[in-house]
Amino acid sequence: MNLKWLLVRRITLVALACFLTGSAFVLYETVREAKGHNSALAELVGRQLELQLSRIDRSTDIAKRFPDWDIITTYSLLPGQCVELSGHDGKTQRSSCGGMDNASVTTPKWFLQAYRTFVGGNLDAVWPVSYRGVSHGTVAASLNPAETAAQAWSTIAPLMLLSAVLVEALCLVTYMIVVRALQPAEEILSGLNRLARGDLGCRLPAFRLSEFNRISEVFNALTDELGKVTSERADLAGRLVDTQEQERRHIARELHDEIAQKLAALNALAASIRTVAQRDAPELVAEARQLEEMASGAMKSLRRTLTYLRPQEIDDLGLIQSLKDLVDQHNKISFGRTRFSFETTAEMEQLRAETSAHVYRIIQEALTNASKHANARNVTVQLNRLPDADPVRIRLSVVDDGVGRDGDERGSRALGWGLIGMRERVLALSGKFAAGPLPSGGFGLQVEFPTALRSA
């Protein structure tokens, strides 16, 4: 829930609580007053009757006239108010009621119902009539609940209307004030979202409120710093992988020029020993052949190492063909358990040499990971240009339908070097990198980077 609605809700709740307290107070006062009226009436009538009894006792009045109910006419009964005299047997001897006021008709039913439930007949008052210790019945005064409810309602209804109008106005004003006051917060939030999406060029404007202005200054300073650090990191990562690439080339060259030459010489020597031995010492032929096979076996594994260290094919065959060969190799060694496929477009051939090397290495590691960890049926490599992106952006994805992630996740270091290396290469390309299990199952690698294409 956002702050605007939270405040509006709180204000409404507080206003409702105030209104309920006010209504309860009005109700309480109405009830107290009604009860007071009843008590006063019951006492007055009771005392008048006791006075008549004393007159009868002093023979200034006659017993047959008791109770002299005409006294009631001297009191003006409230609308809905009744007074009655009951004998010892509980039977009503005399009673009188005031007429009902029409106001009670307009009281809503729910209010009347609630009134009856909470107040009920608690308003009645009784006065025992006695003279010289002899009881002559009781006077009871009561008020029709519909009438007292109508009275309470006539006070509460305008209060309710006023509260509703006030609350509505208050909520509206609060909402508008909060919307205005939070405008900078909206801008800060959208700036943070842009930053989270990787837009390091985003800056916040100056704000009128000093607190927000301070946030804006700190945000801008941090974004500047982040931009600087990110570009330095990308630079560093670029130099790191370039150095690594150079080192690999150097090792590959040394291996090729030193060991490969010597292995070739060894092979030739073994062949010549075999030829001579066939004529002069046939018992040495088998050993010479063994030597020959060992030399050519070592040559083969050296070639594989050389290909890994420096995929010559990129220079000779181009990126697309080299990647196709790489995918074929994986298809071959998986013996049909996993089907590796590769989709791309011809313009990927126009990627610059360093970019092609990074792309090749990233796909190489992703395919090795899929073979090692995924146990997948299908692995798909896609390398395409993003449509309508200016400058040109390339999207690379390697997706499999395997286990998603190995069971043995052992903390960050245990993740190995492959993903770290890929991330560094993507950083060197100033691109975005994401790798992890997919919600639909399997593992996915998504890379996106800007680039410039060589003219075809």
Ligand X SMILES: Nc1ncnc2c1ncn2[C@@H]1O[C@H](COP(=O)(O)OP(=O)(O)OP(=O)(O)O)[C@@H](O)[C@H]1O
Comparison of 250 and 405: residue with beta carbon closer to Mg ion? 405
Q: How far is the CB of 305 from ligand X (least distance, A)?
A: 16
List C-alpha distances in Å: 285 to 65, 274, 296, 297.
159, 5, 16, 18
List C-alpha distances in Å: 290 to 277, 286, 294.
13, 6, 6
Comparison of 237 and 291: residue with beta carbon closer to ligand X? 237
Helix axes 285-309, 261-280, angle to 10 degrees: 170
Q: How far is the CB of 354 from ligand X (least distance, A)?
A: 22
Q: How far is the CB of 308 from ligand X (least distance, A)?
A: 13
Q: Count Cβ neighbours within 10 Å for each residue of 208-228 and write b for 16 or more, e otherwise.
A: eeeebeebbeebbeebeeeee
Which span sits near Mg ion by CB under 5 A: 143-151, 163-171, 245-253, 364-372? 364-372
Q: How far is the CB of 287 from ligand X (least distance, A)?
A: 38
Helix axes 145-181, 3-57, angle to 10 degrees: 160
Q: What is the DSSP letter of 283?
A: G
- What is the gyration radius of the CA atoms in the chain, in angstroms? 50
Q: How far is the CB of 367 from Mg ion (least distance, A)?
A: 10
Comparison of 369 and 451: residue with beta carbon closer to Mg ion? 369
Q: Which does 374 bind (CB under 5 to 8 A by kind): Mg ion, ligand X, none?
A: ligand X
Comparison of 358 and 373: residue with beta carbon closer to ligand X? 373
Q: For residue 349, which amino acid is it?
A: E
Q: Which does 233 bind (CB under 5 to 8 A by kind): ligand X, Mg ion, none?
A: none
Q: Which does 311 bind (CB under 5 to 8 A by kind): ligand X, Mg ion, none?
A: none
Q: How far is the CB of 341 from ligand X (least distance, A)?
A: 15
Nearest CA among 208, 430, 185, 214 for reference residue 222: 214
Which span sits near Mg ion by CB under 5 A: 72-80, 221-229, 295-303, 408-416? 408-416
CB-count burial class (<10 Å; 0-12, 13-18, 19+) for 455: exposed
Comparison of 127 and 340: residue with beta carbon closer to ligand X? 340
Q: For residue 399, which amino acid is it?
A: V
Comparison of 115 and 443: residue with beta carbon closer to ligand X? 443
Site for Mg ion in 410-439 (CB under 5 A): 416, 418
Q: How far is the CB of 245 from ligand X (least distance, A)?
A: 17
Q: Which does 415 bind (CB under 5 to 8 A by kind): ligand X, Mg ion, none?
A: ligand X
Comparison of 227 and 416: residue with beta carbon closer to ligand X? 416
**Distance between alpha carbon 316 and the CA centroid of its chain, in Å?**
52
Residue 369 near Mg ion by CB under 5 A? yes
Comparison of 116 and 405: residue with beta carbon closer to ligand X? 405
Q: How far is the CB of 259 from ligand X (least distance, A)?
A: 24
Query: Does residue 391 have a cis bond before it (omega within 30 degrees)?
Result: yes
Residue 371 near Mg ion by CB under 5 A? no
Comparison of 421 and 450: residue with beta carbon closer to ligand X? 421
Q: Which does 424 bind (CB under 5 to 8 A by kind): ligand X, Mg ion, none?
A: none
Q: How far is the CB of 419 from Mg ion (least distance, A)?
A: 7
Bridge-based pairing of strands 393-400 and 443-450 is antiparallel
**Distance between alpha carbon 414 and the CA centroid of its chain, in Å?**
31
Type and span of the H or E element at 93:
strand 92-97
Q: Which does 370 bind (CB under 5 to 8 A by kind): Mg ion, ligand X, none?
A: ligand X
Q: How far is the CB of 187 from ligand X (least distance, A)?
A: 39
CB-count burial class (<10 Å; 0-12, 13-18, 19+) for 397: middle
**Distance between alpha carbon 239 and the CA centroid of its chain, in Å?**
40
Bridge-based pairing of strands 134-143 and 339-344 is unpaired
Which span sits near Mg ion by CB under 5 A: 50-58, 231-239, 343-351, 363-371? 363-371
Residue nearest to Mg ion (CB): 418
Comparison of 279 and 413: residue with beta carbon closer to ligand X? 413
- Using CA atoms, how far apart are residues 354 and 175, in angstroms rounded to an integer? 57
Binding site for ligand X (CB under 6 A): 369-370, 372-374, 400, 402-406, 415-419, 443
Name the residues that contact Mg ion, by CB under 5 A: 369, 416, 418
